[in-house]
Structure 1
Amino acid sequence: MSKLIKPVDYKPLLTMRQTEQGIKLIKDFFQQNLSTELRLHRVTAPLFVLKGLGINDDLNGVERPVTFPIKDLGDAEAEVVHSLAKWKRLTLAEYNIEPGYGVYADMNAIRADEELDNLHSLYVDQWDWEMVMTREQRNLDFLKDIVRRIYAAIRRTEYLVCESYSVIKPFLPSEIHFIHSEDLLQMYPDKDVKERENLICKKYGAVFIIGIGDKLSDGKPHDGRAPDYDDWTTPNSDGRKGLNGDILIWYPTLNRAVELSSMGIRVDKEALLRQLKLTGQESRVNLYFHKKLLADELPLSIGGGIGQSRLCLVLLHKAHLGEIQASIWPEDMIKECEEMGMAII
């Protein structure tokens, strides 16, 4: 059985041709806004990296990357990227980017272990961005400032979409609300993670949940994070741990919370060693990326990923990623989508 979310009385507001035009409008406008807001310049991103260098994003640590042998490298294995979380930091060093500036890339990835539904696809496209920062900026106030700037770019893009298509009405709130994952747990102690996200997003409309990766008071993390990119163990100004988080919005079309971005201040040497120890992955210190970080050859940075198809989905008021991107879906899901008016590409 498919895991399809079935919105009641769903009717697409745009034709397939209008949808394609809207996708281009959003992608062109948002990336220019993001670039201007955070002072980022575009760089060309890899689709795959060599296995064994520690460069690929390990996500939650259990997802299997798509791999293939390279004939001209003696059948050395390459991995299709999950995201560019660590590759971008290497790029900052290679380009000798100064503090306050950074890079962004159009990232295309394959996540073969993804559980497919309205919001999850085998094909992942996102704007991966990374900015050089100073030691003094490694704090919660700086993280919140960057979140607000990204959210402002999202709202400007929503305004453009509504001006371009009169049938689409704005729904995002003017401000984004901040809450730590531990405080969210204390607010809804009898709810699971997704229920907590839904409740807080429905209450505020747009939320940044701080502190993703470390165990909470119930012994479980809010969500998984690999130990070697986001800093989820450093105490912040309010005594809570974690300098990272997720941007989520309440999406009326699907009547649920939708994550648009995962981001955070990246690990320094101390946080890397601490998190590798916590996760029992100390052996990673011998990998290429980790050696460079521990040798002070990589800059301090903040970065993240913003889902392109997801942003298009919510701003065009669609109900399924298959209405935005060409991917592979289960046959029963495709049939159900057709019956409900979701035009799968």
Structure 2
Amino acid sequence: MLPEKQQQIQLVSRPEGMPVKEDFLYKEIDVPQPSNGEVLVKTIYLSVDPYMRGRMSDAKSYVEPFKLNEALAGGVVGEIVESKSAHFQKGDFVVGMLPWQEYSVAKEKEVRTIDPDVAPISTYLSILGMTGLTAYFGLMDIGQPKEGETVVVSGAAGAVGSVVGQIAKIQGARVVGIAGSDEKVSYLTDTLGFDEGINYKTTDNIYKTLKEACPDGIDVYFENVGGEIGDAALSLLNKHARIPVCGAISSYNKTDRDLGPRVQSRLIKSSALMKGFVVNDYNDRFKEGATKLGEWLSQGKLQYEETITEGLDNVTDAFLGLFQGKNIGKQLVKIAEPSK
């Protein structure tokens, strides 16, 4: 029997700098009931992602800001516990962008079914979900790595970066990953097969360290971080280098302007391409990306790591931990157990 009440996480103030717990409110609300053409979804896994920090601001961006005093929302894998849709049955597992709460009503077009026999359901929020697709399209469409080239990935032990490096290795590239701890560097080189790893927190000069790791320069720099790491990488570009810009997490919580070297002369001298993107730019090609990722995963060419926090009451801690580098791979929160 379903409960009548549930917990929902709302944004109640717009953060200035690093978000704090007081920016969020846990509120008790009714469990909603589906109407015709809708389903009731029990949240099993909930995704927290760095881009959500931007949505907490009311500044104009590529996606609408979260509204104050309403539920935050993100990627959710859930189980249908009641269906009033001909396209879904009770017990189906689905993925979609849903509120941060225990139960959600979704329209038919807001969720899609996933197959738990292909891979664990959590992977549809990680390696087989938006993070995997972000890595695939950013690297393959913009980065276009070639055999023998040098690919550098910042935020390399994160959900996107860890997949980027592995795909680059599949393409025959030499891969250097930048991360924030010795544990993460070991994970990159010993488990994922990166050729070299750099702990940016223990080097006195990131430019010098990166130059030593890339004696032949950089052909592809996959940008997840920005800041001094990005400045150093842009100084080592080879002719016709490509720079997919996926994120700039170092600046997300800054309250002042993020200043750094001007990039124009570096791009001109190297005839480099620097292009920002979001995964939704590739909506019409998601099937292509998911198919390829699934093939590589089944062939053992891709590995993945998920940092899973338990409980809705720990969602905000998991989110804030992203900006402290606490996760390896994809950060998920497990909200409930599946019924079967």
Range class of TM-score, shorter chain: under 0.3
Larger RCO: Structure 1 or Structure 2 (Cα < 8 Å, ≥ 6 residues apart)?
A: 1
What TM-score comes out, normalization by structure 2 length?
0.24
What TM-score comes out, normalization by structure 1 length?
0.24
Q: Which has the higher strand share?
A: 2
